[in-house]
Structure 1
Amino acid sequence: MHLKRGSEREACDFCHRRKIKCDRALIAKAGHASPTCTACEIRSLDCQVDDSNDVRIQRKRRQKENHPAPAAAPAAPDPRHPSPQAPSAAPGLSGYLDPEPWFSSSLFDLSSENILFLNQVFTGDYTFDFNGMADAGSTIMYPVQIPLPGQDVFADLWGSSGVDGSMVLAALEAYFALAWVSLPIVSKEAFWTDYHAGQCSPALLFAIAACGVVYTDLEDSVRWDMQQKLAYRFKSAFLESQNGGGDIRLDDIEALALMVEFEYDESRDPSGHGHLDKMYLSHESLVLLTLRYQGTVHRDSLMPITRLEERRILLFWHVFGLDAFRCLDKRTMSRIPDDYDTSQELLPERTDATNYLEAVLSLAVIARDIFKTLCPNACRRNGIKAADVYRLYEVLKRWRATSWAPYLERRTDSSGRLIPYSFSGANEYQDLQRLVLWSLETNCYMQIESCADAFGLASSGGLDAEAAAMRIEYESMQAAQDAVRTVEWMEMPSNQTSLFVKGRHPVDLARMVQQILAGVCTWLTIRGQRRYNSLFSVAPFKIHGNDDVEDASKTELGAYSAAIATLRGAVAKGTSQRGSAGLFQWLDGKIGAFQSAVNP
């Protein structure tokens, strides 16, 4: 952030170098003798402000010591910035939710380079107003108050929509306590600020409630029925806002990002135009609306949006990542422009490790690179070049080496098995971030194998294609093994406290993890059948203990069966979403086919 000439810097040395929001001054004002900002705390760094080499500041301090200023009367409180002293919680209320310290710095510590990158991709603008973002986020450390039902400013909206206000509030709170952690689409502090001011869009309110109601204490049939009811309220509110014409609000796009491609119960649609509505609620619509949004809408309107700049960049982060992994999975072209030079922007050299959002962003850039490299028409016709396969694997290896903060790394023992982290107050969220990041990495490796299986490898007349095939086989098996070990790591008794947020299994909180594990499980069933049918050559080296061919076959298939059972057990833990039943049925069909093939 830019400072006026001669003014004293409040940011610590680390945050000042990274040009990120620093909360050291706010923590110091709260009465801490040795304040440590959250960015330094999660990295176990010494939080210091070293301005000894600034001659102007040192001269200014000496002048203050020689000529102390007279005591001034206390300033009147500024209504725009409430006192850091948290008010007492109301009886019976779940309380004031203090923003988690590991999530409280500006934009989750997204670097200025990545903010500029996202702004360039979606707006074409190479500049960004960091001062405006800093002003918008100045109240980030203040407590978030959850309203009592009797104090709800949206009581009339709930009444006219036919939903129980107390249930909606419970759903909103459940979303931010559970589902929001792994995929932060909406700023929690900004949402509650807008909520109390009565300036949230109805579409965003119903979208968050629909996502959070499945994590409430209602019975399965009741909460799924209520989820559909809230989803249709979102749908109606969102389409109504679009019919009005003009510019779209940022929180309406946030609502669509939460509900994109939600599975609606068509029997509830009285209009019979569900197929037309899907066009406006699709992933493509989300991308186009985000590209069209320029971030200047409603700045001076009667319904302002809190911390608009931060929320806009966070929305860009989510849409960019969602689009990258979705296009790779479905092998469809992206509508997001690809004007930036991938070879230059992919993995810039860094002097320090990054955090969760930055690691996901850089992996999303790699996912786009995988699609561009392996899925063009030339590869579909002639096969994939071995050199491209090698380059992508090296990019993924370099990403793991340069883009992981210490708290995101895989810690393994001598046998390669993952070991748990020591528990702290932040672990229940950090472990979930690790799980999501590791699963997305596994997905990239499996997608390379999927493209090679679909399009084949280009022949160069030598042994390159066969060598590349063996490399793909190795990397894919290693990725599958990593997925199995990740599940074993989740189930360790020592991880039950840190991984299970509010008693919920992590797979239940991160649906993308459930889907990736199901995909790896399916891949193992297909490969196991091919191994059994000798479509793959046996290992060229002797494996001790497998001298007998029949025993070796049983041992190998037993290993496949154990890995499949481990992954299937983890997938089964995600039961909150209604669509999980269909996923279980589909996966059980694949496992049944594998068992029938190997046990005729």
Structure 2
Amino acid sequence: MTACSQCALRDIQCHVDDSDDVRIRRRRQTTARGGIVEVGTGDLQPALSHPSPGVRGDSASRVASESHILSPSPGNDNAALSNISFDMFADSPFALSFDNMLFLDQIFMGNCGPAEDNNQRGQDSQNPTPTSDMTQTDSQEQDGKDLVSSSEELSAYSWMGVSVDSAFCTAALRSYFDYAAPYLPILLADAFWEDYHANRCSEMLLYAVACRGMPFIEAPDKWNLQQLLAATFRERYLSARSNTCDNETIRLDDLEALALMIDFEYDDSRSLPLLSNLAKLFLTHDALVLMTMNYRILDHDSANSTLPTKLARASERRVLLYWHIYGLDAFHCLDKKQMSRIPNNDVGGSENLSLHETKDYFDALLALAVIARQLTQTLCSPFSKREGVILNDIRNLYEQLDYWRDSCCPRHLRRYTDSAGRPNPIEINKPDSSRTGKYTHLYRGVLWTLELHCRLMIEDCVSEFGIQDKTSLEAEVLARRVEYESLRALNEMVNICQWMKQHETHHEDHERHSLIDLAPNILRNICAGMCYWSCQRGIDLCDSGPPRLLQSRHANDREEILKRKVLNYVEIAKLLRDAAATAASHRDTAHVLERIDKQRELLGSRLNLL
């Protein structure tokens, strides 16, 4: 039996029976033994499509059962799966299937050539690193506590270059992993602490982690401290990139730091205009994606050292970073209505990589990101922007979202509702009290909210670009469905906001935070976006009146009914605004509320004119 690409890379016996997997057979045709597959993303759906006989559920379990025979071998520094165990996410909420790991590896490693492989084999052979299980443990908390009393280790890092108390920085590091990281992790906590103790941590990564954890600590003037850390990160990062001897390489932990600081709002009132302008070029989402796709990512703590030390669990961290960037890019491009810079070449033919129900949070979020990417490619293509969206495409996108909600999303994270659309607590098992279990409600809120966001984005794109064949009855039917799906999404979001109020998270120090406070970039921003949409819906209602089926038969009652309808949207907007306001730990929440309050004032003024 021919070995799969990863076993061929390691030059070991392959135990995977994939003889009927057309996708893998095609990939082998483009793979040289020991090389890297030159492929892109394509229309692959790693956790989305309906199950098919071509992919059997026992394959992954067979691979896992044989994983104990896999030993690391020298390989390409860029081969994310070459040093990774198949059960890397065992007993973790962040369970990513092997097929999805392979999917991400092919997307981001497709452009790597054999020259890089040969270049890095010599370095890796000098420093072999044993493969470890990628299991999140509570050791990260203990490591953080030990740091408080370890002044020797603290002095090894350049906190001295920043006018911030080292105790605050240490507390911010711990707070990042306790509060900011769970909903959208970028790096592994235990790997970070291991590198920290060994003095291998990138200077930029320390500033980025401390900056993102600063909102959750108790410190006087913590907002200025956060801005100081952010400004230092920006200055050091730009300086490092301009001084590097090789502009085609970047350290893994530097790339993790960049991913952490994307979309951070800098206070430029005290900084040089040059730094601000450079940041707009090199600290952007596009820069992150392009560097990940095109640069050689170093797993070592020094690019120039003759005996570099490998970063802790670099292979696992690379997969995690790929997962984060792929999902971030999918929803970023959907919000901007722009095509992704991640190439869309076909991976493994037109056959879909079909899986059954996803295992956990990682797989579910990746599957939803695949749908979001397809939304952008379908609704925001140059053809759709010119000619309008094809009717059947809209229908297919709703079917994919329905399948994800009803079948693909893991059962313990799935949204069960009563007849009114409210989350049904009877059907949702109470999460266990373990470290991973206490974040279950957070994972549910993130997944549910992102799904509803996708449905509302369909309405946004269709409203902007129109649909084809506008005069047909089918077009009218589909237009009504788009409106129905959007209103239902708004109604479900209201119910989810009320549900999230009942579920705060707390840590050992009894600090309590709302779910929205722990995931501001998703939960807060989507609540704010739906608040804006609710206001706009109320304003449109003032202009056009309610639908004919909701109009009163008596002319005298029509004005009163219209006022009640608009008032209902006013109340919905207030509820969503109050939900967004619960992200109180973050300074930029005030700016978000300021923007939506202007829209609420406009709706209120229109209501007063009725």
Q: CA deviation at 1:264?
A: 1.3
Pair 1:459 & 2:469 matched? yes
Kept after mapping to 2: 8 A contact 1:446/1:479: yes
Q: CA deviation at 1:109?
A: 1.9
TM-score normalized by structure 2? 0.76
In structure 2, the partner of 1:93 is none
Distance of 2:180 and 2:59 partners within structure 1: 29
Kept after mapping to 1: 8 A contact 2:134/2:316: no
Q: 1:443 to 1:345 in 2, by over 3 A?
A: farther
In structure 1, the partner of 2:193 is 192
Q: 1:259 to 1:286 in 2, by over 3 A?
A: same
Higher relative contact order (CA closer than 8 Å, sequence separation 6+): 2
In structure 2, the partner of 1:226 is 225
Between stretches 548-557 and 376-385, larger displacement belongs to: 548-557
Give the gaps of 5 or more residues in structure 2: 1-5, 16-56, 69-87, 122-127
Between stretches 539-548 and 183-192, larger displacement belongs to: 539-548
Q: CA deviation at 1:298?
A: 2.6
In structure 1, the partner of 2:216 is 215
Distance of 1:212 and 1:105 partners within structure 2: 25
Q: CA deviation at 1:163?
A: 2.4
Residue of 485, 508, 513 corresponding to 1:504: 513
In structure 2, the partner of 1:10 is none
The alignment partner of 2:472 has SS state of: coil
Pair 1:562 & 2:571 matched? yes
Distance of 2:360 and 2:554 partners within structure 1: 44
Q: Deviations over 1:219-276 (max 9, x none)?
A: 4xx1110001101121122223312132210000000000013221112224643212
Identity of matched residues, %: 35
The alignment partner of 1:459 has SS state of: coil
Kept after mapping to 2: 8 A contact 1:18/1:111: no
Kept after mapping to 2: 8 A contact 1:445/1:476: yes
Q: 1:457 to 1:351 in 2, by over 3 A?
A: closer
Task: Report the residue type matching 1:201 in the other structure.
Answer: S
Q: CA deviation at 1:295?
A: 4.8
Kept after mapping to 2: 8 A contact 1:508/1:573: yes
In structure 1, the partner of 2:73 is none
In structure 2, the partner of 1:135 is 131
Aligned length: 511
Task: Report the residue type matching 2:101 in the other structure.
Answer: I
Q: CA deviation at 1:121?
A: 0.7
Kept after mapping to 2: 8 A contact 1:499/1:505: no
In structure 2, the partner of 1:361 is 366
Distance of 2:155 and 2:58 partners within structure 1: 45
Task: Report the residue type matching 2:439 in the other structure.
Answer: Y
In structure 1, the partner of 2:54 is none
Q: Deviations over 1:104-161 (max 9, x none)?
A: 64792211110111011111179999xx998133786572322124345242411233
Residue of 301, 306, 309 corresponding to 2:312: 306
Q: 1:486 to 1:18 in 2, by over 3 A?
A: farther
Distance of 1:432 and 1:579 partners within structure 2: 21
Task: Report the residue type matching 1:178 in the other structure.
Answer: Y
Q: 1:288 to 1:370 in 2, by over 3 A?
A: same
Kept after mapping to 1: 8 A contact 2:187/2:320: yes
The alignment partner of 2:281 has SS state of: helix
Give the gaps of 5 or more residues in structure 1: 8-12, 26-101
Kept after mapping to 1: 8 A contact 2:258/2:283: yes
Q: Deviations over 1:505-554 (max 9, x none)?
A: 1111111210111111111111111112216x614378999994234323
The alignment partner of 1:369 has SS state of: helix
Q: 1:256 to 1:548 in 2, by over 3 A?
A: same
Kept after mapping to 1: 8 A contact 2:326/2:369: yes
Kept after mapping to 2: 8 A contact 1:459/1:465: yes
TM-score normalized by structure 1? 0.77
Pair 1:403 & 2:408 matched? yes
Q: Deviations over 1:8-31 (max 9, x none)?
A: xxxxx99961745999x9xxxxxx
Task: Report the residue type matching 1:331 in the other structure.
Answer: K
Q: CA deviation at 1:418?
A: 1.0
In structure 2, the partner of 1:385 is 390
The alignment partner of 2:513 has SS state of: coil
The alignment partner of 1:248 has SS state of: strand
Q: 1:160 to 1:276 in 2, by over 3 A?
A: closer
Between stretches 119-128 and 172-181, larger displacement belongs to: 119-128
